[in-house]
Amino acid sequence: MSTHALVQFKLARVPGVAFALITLCIVFALTSPGFATAINIANVLTQSTILLLLALPMTLIIMTEGLDLSIGAVLTFSSIVLAIVAISTGSAVLGLFAALAVGLCFGTLNGVLVARLDIPPFITTLGTLGIAQGLSLVVTDGQSVVGIPRSIETIYSGTVVGIPLPIILAALAYALTHALLYQTRFGTYVFALGGNREALRVAGISMRGMLIRVYAFGGLMAGFAALLMTARLNSAHPTAGIGMEFDAIAAIAVGGTSFERGNGWLFGTLLGVITVGVLRNGLNLLAVPSSAQVACVGALVIVALFIDGLRGEQ
Amino acid sequence: MTNSPLFELRGISKEFPGVKALDNVSFEIKAGEVHMLVGENGAGKSTLMKVLCGAYRADQGAFFHNGAQVAIDGPADARKFGIAVIFQEFTLVPYLDIAQNIFLGREFKSRVSGLIDRRRIHAEAKRALDMIGLHIDPRTPVHKLGVAQQQMVEIAKALSQEARILVMDEPTAALSDRETDLLFAMIKRLKRKGVAIIYISHRLSEVLALGDRITVLRDGRKIASLLPAETSPDQLVMLMVGRPVDATYTRPSRPTPGEVVLEVKDLSGPGRFSDVNLTVCAGEIVGLCGLVGSGRTEVARAIFGADRVSAGEIRLNGKRIGASAEDSVRRGIALIPENRKAQGLAVARSVGDNIVLVGLRKLFPSGIFVPRRAMKAARAVIDKLRIATPSPRRPVATLSGGNQQKVVIGKWLNADAKFYIFDEPTRGIDVGAKAEIFRLLDGLVHNGAGILMISSEQIEIVRICDRAYVMRSGRIAGELKHHELTEANIVRLGIHQ
């Protein structure tokens, strides 16, 4: 094998998302002096945690050939419930439990509608997106909920042995989801739900029960992400989570999870989330308005998948 | 082999609205026996097997396991008696590995509560694979396996569930000759271990070579149960179709070939085939044979313009083609692909929609779709090819395999194709329909078309084709004309020396 062929062979094993991430890092490091600093890198990772909490379960949902558009709106509503409960009871813990309960309810509702009533995931979660977003606006009358206990805010700003707390929480969530997908029966059946449902039926496994759990997990994680979001804003805002489903799906697509046959890659999602985070951070440093950033994330998805497609052809 | 049956079905009847699918059929299987089940499509083979594995409930009849009467009310009952079906459509999950697939739904629990013991799953899977003689790492994801290996994983999966009776429905349909040999070796191995095998096949040669017993079904009734030694292919065909049919379709005399329609010169596709030279004349059927993987299908796809080539040229009536599939279609090349359902048909759409699909440009030059004109064009093709459908509006999925194949051919008829590529035109089609497909091919060449036909069944090539090219490892190993065109020569050229 010639050196050239060897290089090609090895490059073919590097996923497109790694190319995208490295390229973006190099470009931003060259164009904005503030990018390649320890503080900024910690900042990018911390800001990516909320997106990661949504993208992890979404990867599983997409692996079942499903989709959850409601995840951003559920996060918003959970955050509002968290703030209201925490303010009225004075207990951050009760607030968190309320947020988890709201997320779990919405997730389970999505799962039941998809699995039991056979409503397509796109339609189901578009509906629950509307419900969650509408409830958020009704409950708050469109205003931010402020005055939450101080202890909540420290969850986002606090550190443990120098590492920001959100990063530790997100790492735990990643480890949990990784174990769930690769080390449990449930995870094995997630692969089968997207890959070959007949295989599950023949094995005598309740497809519907599994599907409901996948969506319920998504809702639960959205409820947990609401804690970080509320802590970050030090308030709950009825439009805080708008568009987060877009970033999550984009990160998963960039990460190389295909939307067919149960072909998913959880580590790719992690890289995809960081890639989207780096892109948004770099554009912020270059003073690109957030509206234009959405377009850039869209372009990133297309470029990353184009690169993957080119390499798949070889 | 013991003499008492391991499992027995007695007097099974099953009725569907309007059809008596099974009529008082009895069937038995002994340990260590390969019992062949043959019959035309629609004879009741699949229904009988679905009754056996509990997917259907019989209206009448009784089941006996080791001589004791038992009930089969669902798949769980069948599993209890060790009955397992190796499905044609595999029940494997592509992005799980072999071991996870074998133990899907039966994962070993780890000592850590909630987790699975992957190491034990892999170890047990390795044992299951060793048992059937498949030496491959159980950590390989299934989507990386070929069809034959996937089938073997299915078999390992069934055996690991203590299956004692395996039902195989056309297991060789998608296999090359070498893979078929491997499968047969494995079946013989299983026989020695006392596994009973019910084997459904359309290929009479393997029925006679592999079977210990043969049962023939026709129109839902059991026609005969015989030993391979006391029968012949001709007799089996007669029993299957119920009338003496010339199964050995003989090639009618054909007009002397006209001008060269297709000329392929020094064609190479990177890593797939190289230096391929071949010609097809008007009024000629030319075979392209070789083992699966020898590059036959790849060459056909390149000629059609579906894949890019790295060198060489393709000429249709002297003009260079091969730039793209769209271009090829416009110039009159038709490809009837190997996998009808995935590549040739919009299965959920109607027969009529499928037929007019390719000819849309010609039928409606203005771009406006006129339903009445489309329907008329579809009816003409349906009549011409004698496609058995009550209406052009019927979904293609409701048709039999043979009629579906006719629809694929019909859609090209409408596009005025001058050169046809048939990739395995008779796969999964019953004996009667095969002869009709061959007559259709004849009709096409009589009207001056040229045909390149790929088939794994050498006997078909010998009977249908005027000439044949044999491929081996991506190259043309030789050309066989006239009296040289024999099964023995095809095999000789196709295998590695």
Domains defined along chain A, listed by start: 17-27+35-309 (1.10.3470)
The predicted pLDDT at position B245 comes to 45
Residue position matching structure tokens 């009988």: B48
- Say if residue A190's pLDDT is above 80: yes
Highest mean pLDDT among A159-173, B70-84, B134-148, B421-435: A159-173
Across the interface, do B105 and A203 touch by the CB < 8 Å criterion? Answer: yes
Query: Is the minimum CB–CB distance between B342 and chain A shorter than 8 Å?
Result: no
- For residue A233, the tally of other CB atoms under 10 A from its CB is 18
Across the interface, do A184 and B92 touch by the CB < 8 Å criterion? Answer: no
What is the DSSP code string of B63-113? EEETTEEE---SHHHHHHTTEEEE-SS----TTSBHHHHHTTT-PPBPSST
Mean pLDDT of chain A: 89
Q: Which residues of B touch A205 (CB under 8 A)?
A: 104-105
The contacts found for B244-250 with CB under 8 angstroms, 24 or more apart, are B245/B431, B245/B432, B245/B435, B246/B435, B247/B431, B247/B435, B248/B463, B249/B434, B249/B435, B249/B438, B249/B463, B249/B464, B250/B463
Structure tokens at A75: 């996060």
* Pick from A185, A204, A261: CB nearest B94: A261
Query: Is the minimum CB–CB distance between A96 and chain B shorter than 8 Å?
Result: no
* In contact, B222 and B216? CB cutoff 8 Å: yes
* Pick from B95, B96, B105: CB nearest A205: B105
Query: Is the minimum CB–CB distance between B100 and chain A shorter than 8 Å?
Result: yes
Structure tokens at B66: 């080791």
Q: pLDDT above 70 covers what percent of chain A? A: 94
Give the closest-approach CA distance of A207 to chain B in angstroms. Answer: 11
CA-wise closest residue to A42 among A141, A166, A130, A132: A166
Instruction: Give the gyration radius of chain B's Cα atoms.
Output: 24
pTM for the full model?
0.69
Query: Is the minimum CB–CB distance between B94 and chain A shorter than 8 Å?
Result: yes
CATH fold of B260-494, please?
Rossmann fold (3.40.50)
Per-residue pLDDT band at A107 (split at 50, 70, 90): very high
Ranges for all domains in chain B classified under CATH 3.40.50.300: 7-241, 260-494
Mutate to test the interface with B, among A63, A176, A183 (most CBs of B within 10 A): A183
Structure tokens at B122: 């892999």
Side-chain-side CA neighbours of A176 within 13 Å: the count stands at 12
Mean pLDDT of chain B: 83
Buried-state track B258-294, b at ≥16 Cβ within 10 A, e below 16:
eebbbbbeebbbeebbbebebbbbbbbbbbbbbbbeb
pLDDT digits (tens, 9 = 90+) for B446-468: 888 899 999 877 778 888 899 99
In this prediction the ipTM stands at: 0.78
- Say if residue B341's pLDDT is above 70: no
Q: pLDDT above 90 covers what percent of chain A? A: 58
The predicted pLDDT at position A220 comes to 96
Size of interface A-B (CB pairs under 8 A): 62
Q: Which residues of B touch A264 (CB under 8 A)?
A: 95
pLDDT digits (tens, 9 = 90+) for B208-230: 888 999 999 888 889 889 998 88
pLDDT digits (tens, 9 = 90+) for B379-429: 888 888 788 777 888 888 877 777 888 888 888 877 778 899 988 888 767
Closest CA in chain A for residue B107: A185
Residue B273 host element (H or E):
strand B273-281
Q: Which residues of A touch B95 (CB under 8 A)?
A: 191, 194-195, 261-264
| DSSP category for residue B395 | B
Q: Which residues of A touch B143 (CB under 8 A)?
A: 261, 263
* In contact, B381 and B357? CB cutoff 8 Å: no
- Say if residue B161's pLDDT is above 50: yes
Q: What is the sign, positive or negative, of the torsion defined by CA atoms of B303, B309, B310, B315?
A: positive
- Say if residue A9's pLDDT is above 60: no
The predicted pLDDT at position B451 comes to 93
* Pick from B89, B95, B110: CB nearest A195: B95
Q: Residue type for A221, please?
A: M
A172 CB-near residues (< 8 Å, 6+ apart)? none
CATH fold of B7-241, please?
Rossmann fold (3.40.50)
The strand order across the sheet containing B60-65 reads B19-29, B7-16, B60-65, B68-70
The predicted pLDDT at position B112 comes to 81
Per-residue pLDDT band at B42 (split at 50, 70, 90): low
The residue-averaged pLDDT of A192-206 equals: 84
